[in-house]
Amino acid sequence: MCIFCDIVEGKIPVQKIFENDLVLVFLDHRPINTGHALVIPKTHYANLEEVSEEALIAVALAIKKIGGLLKTKLAVPGYNVCENNDGIAGQEVPHLHFHVIPRQENDGISHQWPHREYNPGEAEEIIKKLLT
């Protein structure tokens, strides 16, 4: 059993923000910033490829709702939405979840990804592989 499934079943208490039949939203117990929330489908899905469209839509709507609450109730000017898909990408709990991380001016969090250029012909080769 996974820790998020235990949370859904009520075996582990959390600070719930929102819940419906498909989704649970709660405060991260080790927040990056105040108000950092986790949005999870109640059904166990390991990653984005497994999740049903119905559950994914419900999760997206919950993210939108929580983002709005952060802005209106906590005066947060913006937030990051992050989903690490599989262990290689940093997913620590193998239950699909999205982080909604409030951001403040000068909060000291850097979110810079390194960028590179494609080699000649490389982008075309990738497109060919993806579309055939």
Average pLDDT on 86-114 reads 93
Q: Supply the DSSP symbol for 129.
A: H
* Per-residue model confidence as pLDDT tens digits over 34-44: 999 999 999 99
Q: Average pLDDT, whole number, for the chain? A: 96
**pTM for this predicted structure:** 0.92
Instruction: Write out the catalytic residue numbers.
Output: 97
Every domain of the chain and the residues it spans: 3-105
- Strand pairing category for 78-82 and 16-19: unpaired
Q: Please tell me whether residue 23 adopts helix, strand or coil conformation.
A: strand
Average pLDDT on 106-113 reads 85
**Residue environment code for 6-22, b if the CB has 16+ CB neighbours within 10 A, otherwise e:** ebbeeeeebeebeeeeb
pLDDT at 112 over 90: no
Let me know: does 111 contact 92? Beta carbons within 8 Å.
no
Q: Does domain 3-105 have CATH number 1.10.357.10?
A: no
| The pLDDT of residue 1 | 78
Q: Please tell me whether residue 62 adopts helix, strand or coil conformation.
A: helix
